[in-house]
Amino acid sequence: MGIKWNEFFITGDPLILGSQIAILLTMIGIVAGITYLRKWRWLWTEWLTTVDHKRIGIMYIIAAVLMFFRGGMDGLLMKAQTSGPEKEFLTAQHYNEIFTTHGVIMILFMAMPFLIGLMNVVIPLQIGARDVAFPHLNAWSFWLFFSGAMLFNISFVIGGSPDAGWTSYFPLAGKEFSPGIGNNYYAVALQIAGIGTLMSGINFIVTILKMRTKGMTLMKMPMFTWTTLVTSVIIVAAFPIFTVALALMTFDRLYGTHFFTLSGGGMDMLWANLFWLWAHPEVYIVALPAFGIFSEVIATFSRKSLFGYKSMVFSIVGIAVLSMVVWVHHFYTMGASPGVNSFFSITTMLIAVPTGVKIFNWLFTMRKGRIKMTSAMLWALAFVPCFVIGGVTGVMLGMGAADYQYHNTLFLVAHFHYVLIPGVVFAVFAGLYYWWPKMFGHMLNEKLGKWHFWLFVIGFNVTFMPMFFLGLDGAVRRAYTYSEASGFAPLFALSGIGSVVLAAGFAVFCYNIYWSFRYADRNISSDPWDARTLEWATASPVQHYNFAKLPEASSLDAFWYMKKNNEGLTLSDKEIKKIHMPSNSGLPFIMAIVFGVTGFFLVFEWHIAAAIAALGIVGGLIYRSFDYNDGYYVPVEEVQETESAWRNVKGEVNNHVS
C-alpha cells in the first residue's frame, strides 16, 4: 500500500500540534470520565443503541453544537487572519483549508443536523405519533451522518484538509491540481453523511404521510410539519444528484476517469452544474424547516393562529419547485450565454415572491397579537429584518448582468451569511429555546438567553455588514490577505471585532446550557409556553412512548382548541392499553464504525483494505435482513405509573413565560 507515515499525521504547524494534543487529551478525558462514573453501560443502552426519535434528535443536536464550535473556530481563525493587512497568522494553504472546512461543516454538519435533530424531536409529537415510520433506519441515518462528520473532521490532523472550497470546483479539486488526499476526505465523508440524510428524507415523508393522528388532514398540519414534509421531498429529489457528483469525483481522483478533468474529454463545468443542482436546493433544505420553526414560535408568542396558513403552504411548495431551477445563478460569469443567464435571473428573482409572502404572513401574525418577548420570540423578531437584508441583496445578486460586479467578492459572502445565519442559526436557537423544556423538562435560562441573543445578533451584524461594503469596494472572497494600500483594513478590523462578539454570544449560549442543566427549576408545567400544537399535549420531558392515548386533531392548532374546549386532556385508566415500541439495536452504531473505517481506507486510497472493510457493510446489511426483532410492548402498569407521575401532580407547577 506504500504508506508514507511522514504524510499521515500533519506536523510542523503549532496550531495543529496544539489541536492534536487537545483532541488526544479530550478523548482521554472522556474515556476516563465515563469509566470513573461507570456510565459505559448507560451510554450504550440508553443512547448509542437507541431508536427513540427524541434521543436521536438530541444526539443530532449535540453533534451540531459541537460542529458549530468547530466551524466557528474556523471562522474566527479566518477573521483573525484578515483583521489586519499582510498578516502572517495563517499561511495561504492553511487559510484555504480553513475556509473549505468552515463551509462544509457549517452547512452539512451544523445546519442540517441541527434542523434534522429538531425535526426528529418534534415531528412525531406534532403529528401525534409514537415514533417515526422507520425507527431503526432513523438510527442508521444519525450514525451515518455522525460517521461522515467525524471522518471529515479528522482531516486536519490526519492527512490534510480539503482545500478547494466547499464547492470544490474542478479542475482545482482534481488530482492534477490537488494531488494530496485532502479532497478525498471531501468526496468520501460527504458521501457517507449524504446517505444518512437521504434516508432521513424518506423516513420523514412516510412518517408525515402515514402516521398523522386521527383528524389531522394535510391542511391541518402544523407549519413545521409542512416544511419538514416539503424539505424531505427536496432531500429525496436533490441528494441523489450529489451522490452521483461525489461518486464521479471519487472516480476521477482515485481511479483516473475523465468526468471533470481537462484532458481526456472531461468537462469541468459539469461538476459546477451537478454540484449546484444539489447545493441550491440544499439551501432550501436548511431554510424551509427554519421557516417552519419561526412559524410555530411566532404563532405561539403572538397568541394567534398563523396568518395566511394556506398561502404559507403554497409558498413553501412554490419555493421547493423554484429551488430546482435556479442553480445557474451561482456561476453566471462562467461562460453561460445571455439567454441562459436571463432565464435563471428571472427564476431567481421569482423566489423572492413566495418568500415575501411568508415574511408578510409572519408580520400579520404578529399584528394585534399579544406578543411575549421570550428568548425564542426575540430570535424570530430579529430574523425578519436581518433576513430581509439577506433576501434583498440576494435579488441584487440574482440579476445576471449585475452579478458580474459582485461575483466572487465579499458582497456575496455577506449576502449568504445574512441569509443563512438569520434564516437557519436564529431559527435553531429559537427552536432550541422553545422546545428545550419538551426535550429536557426544564427551561433554558431566559436572562442568559437574552445575553446570548443580543451579543449574537449585534456580533453577527458587526461581522457581516462591513463585508457588504468591502465586497462593493472590490475585496475578493477566499483571499488570505490584502495590501495596506487597498484601504480595506478598517472594515476588516471592524468585522474581526464583530466576530469576537458573535463568539461571545455563542459562549453565553453554551454557558446557558450548562447553567440550566445544573440549576434550572424542574417543577415546570408540561406546557410552559401555553402553546398551540400537539407536542405540548404530553409530558415534558416526553415519556418514551410519547402518548398514552393518541390525541385527536379537529382543527389547526389542535392543542389550543383541546385546551379551549377542555377536550381530550384527561386520561382514564380504561383508555390505557399496552403500547408497542421498537427495540434498541447496536447495529447502526457498529455500522457507523464500519462505514467510517471503509471511508478512511478509501480516503488514503488503500483499495484492498477498503474492499475488505466494505464487506463489513454487506455483512451488516445481511445481518439486518435476518433481524426479525419485532419490538416489545410497554405494559399497562408502566403506562399508568408514568402517566400519573405527570398528570395529577399536587400543587402548582411553575410557568416560566415572562
Residues in contact with other proteins by CB under 8 A are 133-134, 198, 201-203, 205-206, 209-211, 236-241, 243-245, 247-248, 251, 255-259, 261, 263-267, 270, 274, 277, 580, 582, 618, 622, 625-626, 628, 630-631
Per-residue exposure over 244-256, b if at least 16 CB sit within 10 Å of its own CB, e if not: ebbebbbebbbee
User: Least distance (Å) from other proteins to the CB of residue 282?
Assistant: 14
- CB 206, CB 133: distance < 8 Å: yes
User: Least distance (Å) from other proteins to the CB of residue 267?
Assistant: 6
Among residues 134 and 224, whose Cβ is nearest to other proteins? 134
Among residues 98 and 246, whose Cβ is nearest to other proteins? 246
User: Least distance (Å) from other proteins to the CB of residue 583?
Assistant: 11
Q: What are phi and psi of 579, to 5 degrees?
A: -120, 130
**Rounded CA separation 488/51 (Å):** 52
User: Least distance (Å) from other proteins to the CB of residue 534?
Assistant: 20
Among residues 243 and 554, whose Cβ is nearest to other proteins? 243
Among residues 33 and 240, whose Cβ is nearest to other proteins? 240
Distance of CA 517 to the CA centre of its chain: 23
**Rounded CA separation 604/181 (Å):** 6
Among residues 129 and 288, whose Cβ is nearest to other proteins? 129
Q: Name the strand (E) or helix (H) holding 121.
A: helix 112-126
User: Least distance (Å) from other proteins to the CB of residue 185?
Assistant: 21
The DSSP line for 254-293 is HH---SS-SSTT--HHHHHHHHHHHHHHHHHHHHHHHHHH
Among residues 257 and 405, whose Cβ is nearest to other proteins? 257
Place of cell 419547485: 321
Among residues 6 and 263, whose Cβ is nearest to other proteins? 263
- Residue 14: other Cβ atoms inside 10 A: 7
Place of cell 377542555: 566
User: Least distance (Å) from other proteins to the CB of residue 315?
Assistant: 23
User: Least distance (Å) from other proteins to the CB of residue 653?
Assistant: 34
Among residues 194 and 391, whose Cβ is nearest to other proteins? 194
Q: For residue 203, which amino acid is it?
A: N
User: Least distance (Å) from other proteins to the CB of residue 575?
Assistant: 17
Q: Name the strand (E) or helix (H) holding 191.
A: helix 182-210
The DSSP line for 414-432 is HHHHHHHIIIIIIHHHHHH
Among residues 337 and 625, whose Cβ is nearest to other proteins? 625
Helices (H), 211-222: none
Q: How far is CA 642 from CA 46, 128, 155, 546, 638, in A?
A: 18, 18, 46, 11, 6
User: Least distance (Å) from other proteins to the CB of residue 433?
Assistant: 33
